[in-house]
Amino acid sequence: MTSPIIEASQKHPKPQDRTFAYGTAGRRWGYRSLLDSVVFRVGLLAALRSQKLNGKAIGVMITASHNVPEDNGVKLVDPMGEMLEASWEAHATSLANAPNEEELVARHEHLISSLKINTSTPAHVILAKDTRESGPALVVALTDALTSAGAKYDDYGTLTTPQLHYLVRCLNTQHPPHSEPYGEPTEEGYYKKIGSAYAKLLQGKPRPGPITVDCANGVGAPKLKALAEYIGKEIFDVRIVNDLVDQPSKLNYQCGADFVKTQQRLPPASQVSPLARCASLDGDADRLIYYFTDSDGTFRLLDGDKIATLVASFITDLVKSAGISDLKVGVVQTAYANGSSTAYITKTLGLPVICTPTGVKHLHHAATKFDCGVYFEANGHGTVVFSHAAHATIASHSPESPAQASALENLQALRALINEAVGDALSDLLLVEVILAHKRWGPKEWDSTYTDLPNRLVRVEVKDRTVFKTTDAERRLVEPVGVQEKIDSLVGKYKQGRAFARASGTEDAVRVYSEAAERGEAEELARLVADVVV
């Protein structure tokens, strides 16, 4: 008898000449025809993951984030809304690379026995996609796999990546031993949760003026509209640009968080007056960056580092004002964080900083070491996580004055506003708006907290990026032998110089980053390091 998996898999055959690997942020393998078999096989793994975890809901998101419209990708979401446990990435790679149906079934069965999976446990998978043209066909590959594996699934249609993470966490916290559900497991529940926390935090505060948000022509546009409708124009006056979701070729084109961060300029569609607050999301709305033009027309970027410092300082003040003394706030960054931000956090805010390798899974994990861990990549992906102890303290602390009581209430509302499961551009946007209103700051006051060191990021094409091996949170190369010494001697020649080279986890290239006291020097240093690497 042919197994249902073999039969279903024959409709989604693997291209013979390809090898796939689970990347730093899920998988991005371009073109739909290549991804069809990958998504099918990820579906099989999602069902196994759910069975392994006693039928907990597992999420599958089809998106390629900030990448070009022709790309697509697929990511698994673990029960508490986190990214897939690292040890399972190898299983994804193994299934994705099985050369034919028989081998796929053999590897699938091997996983069942080696991971001791009880296949009579009902599996539950929830799925969503972004607005890419290839999304619907990939959903067919996914649901074919889930059906063939006998898994129950719910298709939530088009969502932002963080909305799917939110839903997974809600579904898995509805019942004991969880004492309170994360939220209602619906899209409306998401708007309700973060929208009402936002309204609560703005009570008695100056109404924020209008904000222009570039939605990268992606899924963030309709979702931000829905959120804004829920909250109401009175306190959330958002002007949306780049919302052409019915023109898939426009996704992330000349717009979006990645465009603005790498080009350091306004998206052409944004026509804004000086000192007006602007923000950009990426294609699946998990990254957020702010910016504005100064009175003299200069473009000023308020990136993930600026968001992290703003959030960390606000929470620190709130904790203090609430009279809580034993809650340790810390910040997690990567090597791409601007040196000025790190100095500001440690010297001015007096908070500890941990540096991790690139990729949010590393940052998220390190952030859980603090009672309150704030993590952001410079590119705008990040959030805040609270430990169990911190949640308990915030829920049960007794204030000793009306001022303490009000700070505590704000801290409690902040917990509801923040999407702890994953970096979430919509929730982060509301968070920044709240903090600016509380501080009575415009973008210029925020920007003036510290001045970024001039920096440069370049992409270097190399013959084989796998020969580049790093240590010290990717800040130093151990291989190829001798290259780090050359970088060190170059860096030593520049005032406030810092540079590193590492292989990209998502593209076939090496990235070189440099910083120095002057713009020209930062650029020269990047060029020289790139020459050493190539």
Give the shortest CB-379-to-ligand NG1 separation in angstroms: 4
Instruction: Give the integer Cα–Cα distance in Å for 84 and 103.
Output: 24
DSSP of 197-208: HHHHHHTTSPPP
- Near Zn ion by CB under 5 A: residue from 71, 187, 258, 282: 282
- Tell me which residue of 157, 158, 190 sits closest to 171, measured CA to CA: 190
Pick one of 248, 339, 399, 505: the residue that binds ligand NG1 (CB under 6 A): 505
Binding residues among 48-87 for ligand NG1 as defined by CB under 6 A: 65
The Cα–Cα gap between 162 and 287 comes to 10
- Say how many CA atoms lie within 13 Å of 155 toward its Cβ: 17
The answer to whether the CB of 135 falls within 8 A of the CB of 72 is yes
| Residue in this structure with the two tokens 């100064």, named with its chain if needed | 294
Binding mask 228-267 for Zn ion (x = CB under 5 A): ----------------------------------------
Which residue blocks in 232-301 are alpha helix, DSSP H? 256-263
30 part of the interface to ligand NG1, by CB under 6 A:
no
> Under the criterion CB under 6 A, does residue 12 sit at the interface with ligand NG1?
no
506 lies in the site for ligand NG1, by CB under 6 A: yes
Site for Zn ion in 65-124 (CB under 5 A): 65
In Å, the largest CA–CA distance within the chain is: 74
Q: Which is nearer to ligand NG1, 144 or 377 (CB)?
A: 377
Q: What CA–CA distance (Å, rounded) separates 29 from 21?
A: 9
Size, binding site for ligand NG1 by CB under 6 A: 14
Residue range at the interface with ligand NG1 (CB under 6 A); choices 69-77, 249-257, 268-276, 374-382: 374-382
Q: 29, 190, 259, 336: which one contacts ligand NG1 (CB under 6 A)?
A: 336
Which of 97, 217, 379, 427 binds ligand NG1 (CB under 6 A)? It is 379
Q: Which of 381, 397, 456, 498 binds ligand NG1 (CB under 6 A)?
A: 381
Q: How far is the CB of 410 from ligand NG1 (least distance, A)?
A: 30
Quick check: 511 binds ligand NG1 (CB under 6 A)?
Answer: yes
Q: How many helices (H) and strands (E) would you count in the chain? A: 18, 19
Contact 410/418 with Cβ under 8 angstroms? no
Question: In whole angstroms, what is the distance from residue 86 CA to residue 362 CA?
Answer: 10
* Residue 505 interacts with, from ligand NG1, Zn ion, none (CB under 5-8 Å by kind): ligand NG1
Non-local CB neighbours of 12 within 8 Å, separated by 6+ positions: 36, 37, 39, 40, 141, 144, 145
In terms of CB distance, is 66 or 397 closer to Zn ion? 66
Q: Which pair of tokens denotes residue 230?
A: 């829920």
What's the Rg (C-alpha) of the chain?
23
Active-site choice (9, 37, 50, 65): 65
Tell me if residue 270 is catalytic.
no
The answer to the question of residue 377 lying near Zn ion (CB under 5 A) is: no
- Alpha-carbon distance of 93 to 97, in angstroms, equals 6
Q: Does 358 bind ligand NG1 (CB under 6 A)?
A: yes
* Residue 470 interacting with ligand NG1 (CB under 6 A): no
| Residues that are catalytic | 65
Give the residues lining the site for ligand NG1 (CB under 6 A): 24-25, 65, 336, 358-359, 377, 379, 381, 504-507, 511
Give the residues lining the site for Zn ion (CB under 5 A): 65, 282, 284, 286
